[in-house]
Amino acid sequence: MGEFKADPRQGKIDLGVGVYKDPTGHTPIMRAVKAAEARLLETETSKSYTVLAGEPAYREAMAKMILADLYKPELTATLATVGGTGALRQGFELARMGSPEMRVFYSDPTWPNHLSILKWMGVETIPYRYFDNASRGVDFEGMKADLAQAKAGDVVLLHGCCHNPTGANLTVAQWKEIAAVIAKTGATPMIDLAYQGFGDGLEEDAQGTRIIVESFPKC
Ligand SMILES: Cc1ncc(COP(=O)(O)O)c(C=O)c1O
């Protein structure tokens, strides 16, 4: 990002981070964020410590936003982390506590940090077919065939919506099939939901996650 900023050439294109930019290359602050900031400034009364797992009201609101009617407090654990990358690290560590020999199946390609975190942790990673260069869509048959190779104790890492880096997403019917394939293997699904609301809408983008939650009542 630093090199890009310093590069004086006209017409340069930033392929480093996937954030919205207007035609002048500026990333504006969304009106809703500005309004929320103003409201916070008006109403907050303390900046004292909250509980270590993060502000309970925030955690509950997030769980409800993702799970809607499927939210069951007795089956849901929430934790505020330092960014999505911190959440992934915590999630992988938790999964390994439950399954020390786990292998992680990841979509080919996936967001690069998935692999650098897992490499650092010394976890075996196995790619599953995902993007089909010819059709510019999901290689669904390849994906199903590769995921069928998982076994109990493994983790299947899925992107909840707006697949990064391909932007190719599963349909609702495909999510259901994938849930059934994973359930048959006994592996545990893990979903990286980084962009809820950036694709088709807040509810639509959570559909895949909700299908997985319904299919794995005890996960
Ligand atoms: C799929 C995916 N997961 C997680 C993250 C990490 O989010 P954060 O920047 O909050 O660490 C990103 C960021 O680009 C991402 O694309």
pTM: 0.91
CA–CA distances in Å: residue 131 to residues 15, 82, 108: 19, 30, 7
Angle at 79 between CA 114 and CA 156, to 5 degrees: 35
> 111 C-alpha to center of ligand 1: Å?
8
Q: What is the tens place of the pLDDT at every residue in 140-154?
A: 999 999 999 999 999
- CB contact at 8 A, 136 and 168: yes
- CB contact at 8 A, 76 and 51: no
CA–CA distances in Å: residue 179 to residues 27, 76, 163, 164, 210: 37, 19, 17, 20, 11
| pLDDT in the model for residue 16 | 75
Atom of ligand 1 lying closest to residue 83 CA: 10
Residue with tokens 């890492």: 157
| pLDDT in the model for residue 172 | 97
| pLDDT in the model for residue 150 | 98
Class of domain 81-215: alpha beta
Can you tell me the distance from the alpha carbon of 123 to that of 116, in angstroms, rounded to the nearest whole number? 10
Can you tell me the distance from the alpha carbon of 172 to that of 58, in angstroms, rounded to the nearest whole number? 28
**Domain parsing of the chain, residue ranges:** 81-215
Residue numbers of the chain with a pLDDT score lower than 50: none
| pLDDT in the model for residue 161 | 97
> 155 C-alpha to center of ligand 1: Å?
19
Judged by DSSP in three states, 38 sits in helix
> 194 C-alpha to center of ligand 1: Å?
6
| pLDDT in the model for residue 219 | 55
Ligand 1 pocket, Cβ-based, cut-off 6 angstroms:
83-85, 111, 159, 164, 192, 194
**Using H for helix, E for strand and C for coil, what is the string for 18-46?**
CCCCCCCCCCCCCHHHHHHHHHHHHHCCC
> 45 C-alpha to center of ligand 1: Å?
31
Nearest residue to 106 (alpha-carbon basis) of 42, 163, 29, 64: 163
